[in-house]
Chain A
Amino acid sequence: MPNMSLKKTPMPEQAPDVRNKNFEEVALGYDEVMAVGEAQRCLNCKNKPCVSGCPVMISIPEFIAHVARGEFEEAYQVIAKSSSLPAVCGRVCPQESQCESKCVRGIKGEPVGIGRLERFVADWHMQHNAKKAEKPVSNGHKVAVIGAGPAGLTCAGDLANMGYEVTMYEALHTAGGVLMYGIPQFRLPKEIVQKEIEGLKEKGVEILTDMVMGKVLSVDELFEAGFEAIFIGSGAGLPNFMNIPGEGLVGTYSANEFLTRVNLMKAYKPEYDTPIIRPKNVAVVGGGNVAMDAARTAKRLGAENVYIVYRRSEEEMPARNEEIHHAKEEGIIFKLLNNPVAIHGDENGRVTSIECVEMELGEPDASGRRRPVEKKGSNFSLDVDCVIIAIGNSPNPLIHSNTPGLETNRKGCIIADEETMATTREGVFAAGDAVSGAATVILAMGGGKKAAKSIDAYIRSKDN
């Protein structure tokens, strides 16, 4: 008999006023009893609407049925067929707009907690299964993957499963991309990311760090070195600024810099040398997940007042509801319908305040969201010693500017076929933020997966 509770089994969490002072994970995960109980809410629909909402097409009802029977390792094997990073996805996927949005149980009540179950299964596997992944038999073909973020890791994992010899090139000193430098420890523990990456290495994927492709090696040189196809997943790493006065003041960070100092460079741990300003009062500009991450990180570094400054209203915020909810619980102050016009500083060039203007919502714009309009003369100042700008990123030009034949669009995104992820250069495929502009981890993974499939088809067609 299915569990007919209308609500998801609640996720155990650290209390807000405890967790906003530490970097431990916020959500603690289901135990076995909770997982089995939640899995029993699944009706195992024949037409599996949830699967159509998953960018990597995990066979969701199948893995959940195993969980309901307490067959956790079997459940993991089902997920592993489609996803190389389940412990990551179970934590950071926006399930509410993907798989769970299609769940029949969601029509009357809450959908099945698919994300929470995925996380449980992946964590259970990590804790209970010490067996190393097996290296598939090599098919003798070599593929290079540029960028070891979500798109590249997925593409590499799928290709390795098919028997390809994959070499990954990563610019930073650690593989993982945004999973390591961007998403904070309290939302996605770095140990978990590294364990998933270890799994790829066990399958034979070689990862070379400290390699800034486009600078140290070109795409042409990779082809000369015998790679038959190349995947580019170089991400959207270039931070956007607002182009308002005062952005050069000391204490103004891009969210990328602030988060990288804390996450990748571990500035929050005393044994690391990375310096960071530990501000008292912080304004984070933006309304996406990155803005929430930056605000919650600033709070954990000891800030007293952390403001989210966003020019539209909460309804238009691109951040996940869960992140907004968590941020509010932790004491982040939302300054909505406010737009920064200048950052002010003292004689040493250090931030002292941010000047904003109030906004109101007008007619819908091209994105369908109501366009914010300035209220004339409503300027006011917030006293802050730090401003973090989280208004998005653009693709990094380092690779395409050094690769003849690789075309980009007006925004600097690599042009790739939506289905095959093939670029304008033969044998070169691309996906993730480098193609779409800044988006989500799972969309990048979906793209990496499609690319792996078409790289396989491409190399087979050449072989015949």
Chain B
Amino acid sequence: MFPILKKRALNDSMTLMVVEAPYIAKKAQAGQFIILRVNEYGERIPLTIADYDREEGTVTIIFQKVGKTTLLLDTLREGDSILDFIGPLGKASELEGYSRAAVIGGGAGCAIAYPQAKALKQLGAKVDMIAGFRNTDLIILEEEMREASDCLYLMTDDGSNGNKGFVTDALKKNIEAGANYDLVVAIGPLPMMKAVCNLTKEYGIKTIISMNSIMIDGTGMCGGCRLTVGGKTKFACVDGPDFDGHEVDFDEVIKRSRTYSEMEREATREFNCHLMEGAKNA
């Protein structure tokens, strides 16, 4: 059992949890992930490690409430425990040797992108962070992102923060203005990562993306997280989660990510009904 030491709502749909997991905290590195199972009947879902504290023995996760499992996870409170918490899984990000980087986060992906910006900066790179949200109410971790980067560009799809546009608009503008990026890191929804990769390919800028695929064990056993990279089958869990974005077959990845979407919608609907009933009876 893994106790939740701290829980904080970042906005209406996103939650941060600090979990006591000393073995994992001791080994965790930027870019790696954990797999958790909320209770005996639960799925195993992967979540990227947002932060860790080796001394305190804690691992921080940030998740978006998108389906039954994340909604269920969100019902846990400080002092409650998560049944299974497994990691650190996957390879650590390779961020050494770059001088000028753009780190791009989309929505919930910002939670994973900003530690990458922090790590790049610590390694001596000048880092621009470009973060995109649907609207200004959904913006999370603004302070953290500002601190982690040399310059933060906050974009909203609807312009409600006064800066309308997609992350690719800001990226393109910076590149055209002469930002000599030798690395772009993009983390967020698959269509966003795909769009970023299409753009950076034109300019020949190396681009790392991070996969958050459907998987069970996270150790290479199920093969459910496989994707095609440069024409070869790779497993996101052991070969990734970071990949060269220009080599990834995004169309296949996007289709695979929808394998269970109908079942997920149904499970989420049922779960919400139960929650409402519970609230009524309480």
Residues of chain A having any CB pair with chain B under 8 Å: 171-173, 181, 209-212, 215-217, 237-239, 241, 243, 247-250, 253-254, 256-257, 260-261, 264-265, 271-275, 277, 348-350, 396-398
- Beyond the given A217-B23, A396-B221, A398-B219, could you list 18 further A-B residue pairs with CB under 8 A, ordered by the A residue number? A173-B44, A216-B88, A237-B217, A237-B220, A238-B221, A239-B221, A239-B223, A247-B233, A248-B249, A248-B256, A250-B256, A256-B221, A257-B223, A273-B68, A275-B43, A275-B259, A275-B267, A277-B260
Question: Residue B238 at the A interface, CB < 8 A?
Answer: yes
Top 6 A-B residue pairs of the complex, sorted by shortest distance between their CB atoms: A349-B255, A257-B222, A237-B221, A275-B260, A254-B223, A173-B84
Best-surrounded residue of B27, B43, B223 (most CB of chain A within 10 A): B223
Q: How far is the CB of A81 from chain B (nearest CB, A)?
A: 33
* SS of B interface (majority): mixed
B23 and A216 within 8 A (CB): yes
A250 and B255 within 8 A (CB): yes
B222 and A273 within 8 A (CB): no
Of B12-20, B139-147, B224-232, which stretch is located at the interface? B224-232
Residue of A nearest to B68 (CB): A273
A277 and B259 within 8 A (CB): yes
B86 and A275 within 8 A (CB): no
Chosen A-B contacts, 7 in total, with CB atoms closer than 8 Å, are: A173-B86, A210-B86, A212-B87, A239-B221, A272-B41, A275-B259, A396-B220
Q: How far is the CB of A263 from chain B (nearest CB, A)?
A: 11
Q: Cα distance A77–B219 when bound, in Å?
A: 38
Return chain A residues, CB-CB under 8 Å to B216.
257, 260-261, 264-265
Type the 1/0 row for B171-205, where 1 means its CB is closer than 8 Å to any CB of A: 00000000000000000000000000000000000
Of A260, A273, A277, which contacts B221 at CB under 8 A? A260
Q: Cα distance A260–B88 when bound, in Å?
A: 21
Return chain B residues, CB-CB under 8 Å to A397.
220, 238
B89 and A215 within 8 A (CB): yes
Of A209, A243, A256, which contacts B223 at CB under 8 A? A256
Return chain B residues, CB-CB under 8 Å to A216.
23-24, 27, 87-88
B264 and A275 within 8 A (CB): yes
Q: How far is the CB of B24 from chain A (nearest CB, A)?
A: 6
Q: Cα distance A352–B218 when bound, in Å?
A: 28
Question: Residue B252 at the A interface, CB < 8 A?
Answer: yes
Q: How far is the CB of B189 from chain A (nearest CB, A)?
A: 18
Question: Residue B282 at the A interface, CB < 8 A?
Answer: no
Residue of A nearest to B217 (CB): A172
Q: Cα distance A275–B267 when bound, in Å?
A: 10
Return chain A residues, CB-CB under 8 Å to B84.
173, 209-210
Q: Cα distance A210–B69 when bound, in Å?
A: 19
Q: Give the tally of cross-chain contacts (CB within 8 A).
A: 111
Question: Residue B263 at the A interface, CB < 8 A?
Answer: yes
Q: How far is the CB of B232 from chain A (nearest CB, A)?
A: 9
Question: Residue B258 at the A interface, CB < 8 A?
Answer: yes
Q: How far is the CB of B171 from chain A (nearest CB, A)?
A: 28
Residues of chain B having any CB pair with chain A under 8 Å: 23-24, 27, 37, 41-44, 68-69, 83-89, 216-224, 226-228, 233, 238, 249, 251-252, 255-256, 258-260, 263-264, 267
A349 and B224 within 8 A (CB): no
B233 and A241 within 8 A (CB): yes
Residue of A nearest to B249 (CB): A248
Q: How far is the CB of A257 from chain B (nearest CB, A)?
A: 4
Best-surrounded residue of B37, B85, B217 (most CB of chain A within 10 A): B217
Given contacts A216-B27, A396-B220, A273 and B41 within 8 Å (CB-CB): yes
Given contacts A211-B23, A260-B217, A173 and B83 within 8 Å (CB-CB): yes
Of A210, A215, A248, which contacts B228 at CB under 8 A? A248
A248 and B219 within 8 A (CB): no
B220 and A238 within 8 A (CB): yes
Return chain A residues, CB-CB under 8 Å to B23.
211, 216-217
Q: Cα distance A75–B260 when bound, in Å?
A: 49
Q: Cα distance A248–B254 when bound, in Å?
A: 11
Q: Cα distance A318–B221 when bound, in Å?
A: 22
Q: How far is the CB of B121 from chain A (nearest CB, A)?
A: 26
B221 and A215 within 8 A (CB): no
Q: How far is the CB of B27 from chain A (nearest CB, A)?
A: 6
B233 and A171 within 8 A (CB): no
Q: How far is the CB of A368 from chain B (nearest CB, A)?
A: 30
Q: Cα distance A253–B221 when bound, in Å?
A: 12
A265 and B44 within 8 A (CB): yes
Q: Cα distance A60–B260 when bound, in Å?
A: 49
Residue of B nearest to A238 (CB): B220
Q: How far is the CB of B122 from chain A (nearest CB, A)?
A: 23
Q: Cα distance A36–B83 when bound, in Å?
A: 46
Q: Cα distance A229–B163 when bound, in Å?
A: 61
A265 and B43 within 8 A (CB): yes
B233 and A396 within 8 A (CB): no
Residue of B nearest to A272 (CB): B41
B267 and A273 within 8 A (CB): yes
Of B37, B85, B86, B259, which contacts A171 at CB under 8 A? B86
Of B41, B43, B87, which contacts A215 at CB under 8 A? B87
Q: How far is the CB of A240 from chain B (nearest CB, A)?
A: 9
Q: Cα distance A203–B23 when bound, in Å?
A: 26
Given contacts A210-B86, A250-B255, A273 and B43 within 8 Å (CB-CB): yes
Return chain B residues, CB-CB under 8 Å to A257.
216, 222-224
Q: Cα distance A250–B259 when bound, in Å?
A: 6
A248 and B68 within 8 A (CB): no
Given contacts A257-B223, A273-B41, A396-B221, A215 and B233 within 8 Å (CB-CB): no
Q: Cα distance A254–B259 when bound, in Å?
A: 15
Residue of A nearest to B41 (CB): A272
Return chain B residues, CB-CB under 8 Å to A243.
233
Return chain B residues, CB-CB under 8 Å to A247.
226, 233
A275 and B222 within 8 A (CB): no
B69 and A248 within 8 A (CB): no
A349 and B256 within 8 A (CB): yes
Return chain A residues, CB-CB under 8 Å to B255.
249-250, 348-350
Q: Cα distance A349–B258 when bound, in Å?
A: 10
Best-surrounded residue of B219, B227, B233, B256 (most CB of chain A within 10 A): B219
